[in-house]
């Protein structure tokens, strides 16, 4: 990970924060779990897995897509989604490095 220099965030910290923010809702975690178990999936199949409105599912998919964790492809009249494998591997690496580097040295309580 980049070390903070001159009170600026490094690219690694910014990307990790984008991934973390995108994963910051239980519906998005459910979507990622579902897509990770599939090669690809259509919007309707994803919607059937969640107890929320279609418009809400669309918003969650947009957040995940904007963060680069998933990708979508239009196959008229449907949209097919899948895990963005390249960014998925980056996210795994960023989180693993973050948790490995952030070990408390002493107990604070």
Place 3 in a pLDDT band, splitting at 50, 70 and 90.
low
CATH number at residue 65: 1.10.10.10
20 occurs within a structural domain: yes
Q: Is residue 35 over pLDDT 90? A: yes
1 occurs within a structural domain: no
In which domain, by residue range, is 67 found?
11-95
> How many domains in the chain?
1
pLDDT at 107 (0 to 100): 73
2 occurs within a structural domain: no
Quote the mean pLDDT of the chain: 90
Cβ-based neighbours of 83, under 8 Å, separated by 6 or more = 32, 35, 36, 69, 70, 71
48 occurs within a structural domain: yes
109 occurs within a structural domain: no
């Amino acid at each position: 990970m980049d070390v903070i220099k001159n009170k600026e965030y490094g690219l690694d910290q910014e990307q990790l924060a984008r991934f973390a923010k995108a994963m910051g809702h239980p519906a998005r975690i459910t979507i990622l779990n579902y897509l990770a178990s599939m090669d690809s999936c259509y919007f309707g199949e994803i919607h059937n897995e969640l107890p929320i409105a279609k418009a809400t599912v669309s918003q969650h998919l947009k957040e995940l897509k904007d963060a680069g964790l998933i990708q979508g492809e239009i196959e008229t009249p449907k949209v097919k989604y899948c895990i963005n494998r390249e960014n998925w591997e980056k996210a795994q690496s960023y989180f693993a490095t973050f948790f490995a580097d952030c070990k408390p040295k002493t107990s604070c309580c």
